[in-house]
Amino acid sequence: MKFFIKTYGCQMNVNDSEKMGDILKKRGFSAADDENDADIIIINSCAVREKPQEKIFSFAGRLPKGKKIIVAGCVAQSEKQKILERNPNIDYIVGTHQYYQIDRIADEILAQKSKGDRGVKAQFSKVWQEAVPDIASRISRVSGYISIMEGCDNFCSYCIVPFTRGREKHRPFENIMAEAEYLATAGYKEIILLGQNVNSWEDKEKNMEFPDLLERLSAAPAVDVKWIRFITSYPGYYDEQLIEVMARHEKIARNIHFPVQSGSTRVLKKMNRSYTRAQYLDIVRRFKKKIPDITFSSDFIVGFPGETENDFELTLSLLEKVEYENIFSFLYSPRRFTSAFKLKDDITPEIKKQRLYRLQELQKNIQFKNNKTLLGKTIEVLVTGPHPKAAGEVIGRTVNYRVVNFKSDTPVGEFTRVLIERVGPYSLRAKEHAARAPYCRTLAPG
């Protein structure tokens, strides 16, 4: 029997798909190349905004008749039975805390006589479910995802995550270290620590917090990787210890995804974010003082209920002050269950779109200015894959997540040095340097 997983959403969803695929393979299933060749199709869904949520129904509606279809992930958790009512071809709903049962669920639906036997497993669990996918089940052979916590206790007024991922659960320290060593031994060049509030991680039994984890990972000889990253961090949890740890260890990538959502303190308060504009900028200032080459990326919501033109101008000015390496920006999307759902969505679609365009244009100009500083310089990049449209070319990534295109026969997963010859706002054009970077361990097969 074959399965196919279609993944929507964030890196946590990608990692969940890796885990589900690994569990199914260990049960004797094999992965199909596409949905047409699969007996079971799993749609791993995202509920953070309305648009990605609707994509799952569009995809499910296009699937061939007779396929066994499971909807998993965040939409499955929040909508549950309503999904089955909306699409009669869907066989099973699997919530975010029940993916570890995916093999038993697959067996169950294959034994079904009719669609009338459809089921739902979407109970929240307070217990951490340990699952480490084999190398062969991982989507990337370059970047290894490691989940260290799940859920959120913040209840930002716009955010559905507490209702799809539940309250915070933290993974034991030993389990995190073991997976990091496993990935390093397999030849991974970077590991990415994942969590909805990754920097709120703690291990109470060992009296450890997130900076302690970073310290131990960075200093461990067995975690022989080039870069350690973490996603997504909450500004309200930053302290001087974390800054000191990052300053001490160059292995921790000099780029932080630091979602602010708005540049207006008034809007941040309405969003139930626990920091002000001034506090956020102070954290950025302290980071730059200790680590001058650090860069930031961020998330922004445009058109939150009650956002005035002055609020939006404050967001634009924040972009100019921080000079983000890149951003992810979205129109406000009301989500059921959240407290903001009760607010009047009083910003017209036209104004929302206009503001989003202005935000993205400003960021485009900032990125172009930042990229121009690299012209004529030789930098180190990690080769992430072949270029999909240009034979003989590869795509590389800098430590700050800048995309670099160049001709090379350097294997995927190795570092090399390149000379930057042309730049645009979204990518760099380079020529490979004659001498490759010294960090060139080859990835393990699989």
CATH number at residue 337: 3.80.30.20
What share of the chain in percent tops pLDDT 90?
85
Tokens representing residue 175 in the block: 């389990």
CATH number at residue 97: 3.40.50.12160
Residue 444 confidence (pLDDT) above 50:
no
263 plus 302 within the same structural domain: yes
Structural domain boundaries enclosing 220:
135-372
Chain centroid offset of residue 155 CA: 19
Supply the pLDDT for residue 446: 37
Query: In whole angstroms, how far apart are CA 218 and each of 58, 180, 226, 245?
Result: 43, 11, 10, 9
Which residue, of 89, 121, 153, is where some domain finishes? 121
Please name the residue ranges forming H helices in 277-418. 277-290, 309-322, 349-372
311 plus 272 within the same structural domain: yes
Q: What is the mean pLDDT of residues 182-207?
A: 96
pLDDT digits (tens, 9 = 90+) for 213-245: 999 999 999 999 999 999 999 998 888 999 999
Please tell me the total count of domains within the chain.
3
388 plus 248 within the same structural domain: no
| Residue owning tokens 């905004």 | 49
Strand locations in 223-273, DSSP E?
Answer: 227-231, 255-257
pLDDT digits (tens, 9 = 90+) for 125-146: 999 999 999 999 999 999 999 9
Strand locations in 179-267, DSSP E?
Answer: 190-194, 202-203, 208-209, 227-231, 255-257
The Cα angle at residue 365 between residues 359 and 368, in degrees rounded to 5 = 140
* Local confidence band at 64 (pLDDT 50, 70, 90 cut-offs): confident
More confident of the two residues 439 and 291: 291
pLDDT digits (tens, 9 = 90+) for 74-124: 999 999 988 988 888 899 999 999 999 999 999 998 887 666 567 899 999
Distance CA 186, CA 110 (A): 35
191 lies in a domain? yes
Which residue, of 353, 372, 391, is where some domain finishes? 372
Supply the pLDDT for residue 439: 43
Supply the pLDDT for residue 86: 87
| Residue owning tokens 């995802």 | 145
pLDDT digits (tens, 9 = 90+) for 273-286: 999 999 999 999 99
343 plus 420 within the same structural domain: no
Q: Which of 15-19, 24-28, 51-55, 418-422 has the weakest average pLDDT? A: 51-55
CATH number at residue 402: 2.40.50.140
219 plus 279 within the same structural domain: yes
Q: What is the mean pLDDT of the chain?
A: 93
> Any idea what DSSP says for residue 261?
B
* Local confidence band at 366 (pLDDT 50, 70, 90 cut-offs): very high
Residue 443 confidence (pLDDT) above 70:
no
Which residue, of 372, 400, 418, is where some domain finishes? 372
